[in-house]
Structure 1
Amino acid sequence: MISRIVFRQPCFKILHVATRYYAGIHQRHPVIRLSTQRLNDLKQKLAGGPIPTASEWSEIRKSILDERYFTATNVDSTVLGLCGSLDSGKSYLEYLRTKGVNMNFAMINRLLRLYRIQGCDTGQLSEQDQQDIFKLYSDIRKDTTVLDATTCEHLIGALTLTDHWRLSFELLDMIKLTGIPDSSTYSFLIRKCFLSGDSETGWKLLKEQSDNKRLPNDDVFLAWLDYSISNNRSIASDVVKMLSFTKDASIFLSKRVGTALKQLDSKTGITASDARVTDQGKCSHCKSTMASIVVQEQSFRALKDAFLQAVVIKKEIFNNTTPEELRRFQTFLNNTKPYDIVIDGLNVAFSSGNQKSPTGYAIQIAAVVKHYVQQKKRVLVIGRQHMDRWRSREMKYIRQKSFLFLTEDLSQDDPFLLYAALESGPHTDFFSRDLMRKHSFLLGDELCTVFKQWQQQHQYSLLTIKPDGKVLIRTPFQYELFAHQLPGDSKCWHVPLVEDCLKLHKLEKQTNWLCLKIDK
């Protein structure tokens, strides 16, 4: 039994670990790993086929110890990390027990991970496995009052597969002592809340997860749908609640959740169909035009006023420049604004790689400047002072046809770019491939949403420059990017779908959409 392996004294010993500053993210240490070939060989051996015998475990352990950097302290967690199944991990722990090897936290976390994998693969752990997880938790807590964040995260992942899942709340609070719980930890617990009928706590945690900039996984929303169906609730109302949350939180649902929505019985009042959306915002299924994004004048003014203090002065530029440079820039803006377009010069220069000559970089920028000058646009280019050494006719063209401001080489140019575009007015666009996420986070939740809408409306970026000098530009999608109701028809929703809901996606139109008719 696993309980005999892990919990018999003095076989089990708690080792203290250093405090982490950010839950879910390890502090930087030298990376210790096997060679790629050796790693693949062991994974293949342990992933399938019969479980190794004691002599084979001994050989595997010895072969890893023969590798550089591996010691008796880290070898066993490495082996457990390579195990492809819980049974394989238990077998290795039984081998270690016979050798009198104590378990450390790294090994415990690897074991807890195997329980999580087993639960996901089979849908449910056996009663014995659930008892073993609780016994492991109980013995750890006897010896340690406050656990490190990594162990808490792994324990939550395992406990939420058992009837003792409510013990996870105390562990969640422990994680918050030193950082923010990761996406998986929140998602495991929220899913369990929904499946156990505690929807109030589930939604409270989901709101907290969103506020902490953590993305929920598919299982959270699938569990919400299961909860609604199994409890004979109004599925239509619950789907609207879910879609409204994704809209407010600016997150995407995955194709997996989209499939679940399409499979709902029509008796629920929901009909979901696959759709495409044109660049003009027209749905291929219902032929309607989606809602346009609009940044109200009052919201724009609030964003403009807050940006200088929240991003430029307090958090960003003053870390790498001086107040004198900011004053020089403000004087420059006052003398030259407004602009139609503000261009991130180096972003354009390096858009096709950083192996070109200064002349090559200048050609890139000049081509974009020319594109807008030919449209009689008023152009500002933001660059850095080393660009002043780019002696070429293209740089001469840039200086003659646009306004050019060069920051110090160590300065961050994104805040200058955004500040100039905002100061210039609500009709000014900006040109860059950067996602600008770190700047939006500094503005707070309400203005972060306004910033993203403004960014979506006004950000252009370079696709390519053809050999004849013609510039191809990605234009912004002027319609709602996230799930939303059709203007004038609250029963019709358009929902974008992505492959991976845990990935941060660009502010651009998604390829796959659902067109939903919801009759509550």
Structure 2
Amino acid sequence: VIGTILENAQVNSARDWSNIRKSILDHEINRGQFTTNNIDAMILGHCTKIKRYDLGASYVSFLNQEDVKLNIATIGKYLKLIYFKNQENCLETGKPCDKAQEEIITKHYHDLRKDYPVLDSLTLENVVLALSLTSRWKECLDLLKEIKITAVPTAAAYSAVIAAAFLNNEEALGWTLLDEILMLDKLPGSVSLLAYVTYKGLCQHCSQTLDNFVLTDQEFAELKSEIFEKVIVGRDVFVKTNPEELEKFK
């Protein structure tokens, strides 16, 4: 329902969003799966899924204009959207997200901590994703520990922190976390590899991307092989993963 309505919608004003929200809630197919408690989080989740990050940001602006207080699920989905919106640029530049985005991330994180002293593992992982793109990325290490109290962190959460470590010139920490994720029988996401490639292309003195840093296919394969041999294979491949998973990464 959300996908169909958003695909055909023209959003130019707060009234447009109000009509879209109402049409989803009042849709004849809605049998209670969409409520005023979950509709905002579900709309943001769909915007992230279809990579319409601008649309999601527009929806949050609408909610703010209407003085709608974002609940825990909505804030979590918004932080996840911000992560995917900024991830590519951070990987390309090797730098944290811009100041405006960092302020949004930290504001919502503080709001969560104020209203919900104890956060569930899913919300914590969304915080990890967004916070990993900021200058406060190292706080993600404590958040991973907090997640472990009730759950096992996902590969996505680990990969985001691994990427942050490489992009912030903490190579040893990146390798340590890579080893840790494999001991949990999980494979790192491609963001980890891309961050390592970016790290290799940064001047280690000024952290600026080298102008002529262009990887050939062979060089990219060699970097991937370096990660594969250092961590994926490691001491005992059959302890860390199974042959099928190993082949997927290769």
TM-score band, normalised by shorter chain:
0.7 to 0.9
Partner of 2:54: 87
Quick check: 1:53 aligned with 2:13?
A: yes
Aligned partners of 1:97 and 1:240: how far apart in 2?
47
1:166 to partner: Cα distance: 1.3
Please name the residue that 1:44 is paired with.
Answer: 7
**What pairs with 1:265-344 in structure 2 (closer than 5 Å)?**
none
| Correspondence 1:219 to 2:183 | no
Map 1:436-515 to 2 at 5 A: 445=239, 498=248, 501=249
Q: CA RMSD in A?
A: 3.1
Shift of 1:139: 2.3
Mapping of 1:170-181 within 5 angstroms?
170-181=142-153
- Between Structure 1 and Structure 2, the one with more strand by share is 1
Amino acid in structure 2 at the alignment position of 1:110: K
Q: Which residue of 1 aligns with 2:36?
A: 72
Q: How many residues align?
A: 222
Query: Where do 5+ consecutive residues of structure 2 fail to align?
Result: 91-95, 205-218
Instruction: Tell me the CA shift for residue 59 of structure 1.
Output: 1.1
Where in structure 2 are the equivalents of 1:348-359 lying within 5 Å?
none
The C-alpha deviation readout for 1:402-446, integer Å capped at 9, x for no partner, is xxxxxxxxxxxxxxxxxxxxxxxxxxxxxxxxxxxxxx8xxxx3x
Identity of matched residues, %: 31
TM-score by length of 1: 0.39
More helix by share: 2
Q: State the Cα distance separating 1:39 from its structure 2 match.
A: 3.7
> Are 2:21 and 2:39, in contact at CA under 8 Å, matched by a contact in 1?
yes
Judged with a 3 Å threshold, the aligned counterparts in structure 2 of structure 1 residues 141 and 168 are, in CA distance, closer, same or farther, namely same
Q: Distance in 2 between matches of 1:165 and 1:148?
A: 19
SS at match of 1:130: helix
Distance 1:125 1:52 in 2: 27
Cα distance change, pair 58–241 in 1 and its aligned pair in 2 (3 A): closer
Change (3 A) 1:231 1:97: closer
Change (3 A) 1:179 1:53: same
Q: Give the CA deviation at 1:223.
A: 2.1
- Does 2:171 correspond to 1:185? no
- Matching residue's letter, 1:103: L
In structure 2, distance between residues paired with 1:162 and 1:247 = 31
Amino acid at match of 2:61: E
- Structure number, greater radius of gyration: 1
| Residue equivalent to 1:422 | none
Instruction: Give TM-score, length-normalised by structure 2.
Output: 0.76
1:142 counterpart (90, 93, 114): 114
Q: Which runs of 5+ in 1 are unaligned?
A: 1-37, 252-439, 457-480, 483-495, 502-512, 514-520
Match of 2:74 in 1: 107
**SS of equivalent residue, structure 1 residue 177:** coil
Aligned-partner Cα distance in 1 for 2:59–2:16: 10
Judging changes above 3 Å, is the alpha-carbon distance between structure 1 residues 60 and 248 closer, same or farther for their aligned structure 2 residues? same
Q: Quick check: 1:120 aligned with 2:80?
A: no
SS state at 1:87 partner: helix
Deviation, structure 1 residue 110:
1.4
Distance, in Å, in 1 between the alignment partners of 2:227 and 2:43 is: 45
CA contact (8 A) 2:45 2:77 kept: yes
- What amino acid sits opposite 1:64 in the alignment? I
Alignment-derived partner of residue 230 in structure 1: 202
* Structure 1 residues 345-366: Cα deviation after superposition (integer angstroms, max 9, x where no partner): xxxxxxxxxxxxxxxxxxxxxx
State how far apart, in whole Å, the 1-side matches of 2:228 and 2:87 are: 23
Is the aligned partner of 1:246 residue 2:232?
yes
Amino acid at match of 2:182: S
Return the alpha-carbon distance in structure 2 between the equivalents of residues 108 and 249 of structure 1.
41
Which amino acid in 2 is paired with 1:142? K
**8 Å CA contact retained: 1:85, 1:114:** no
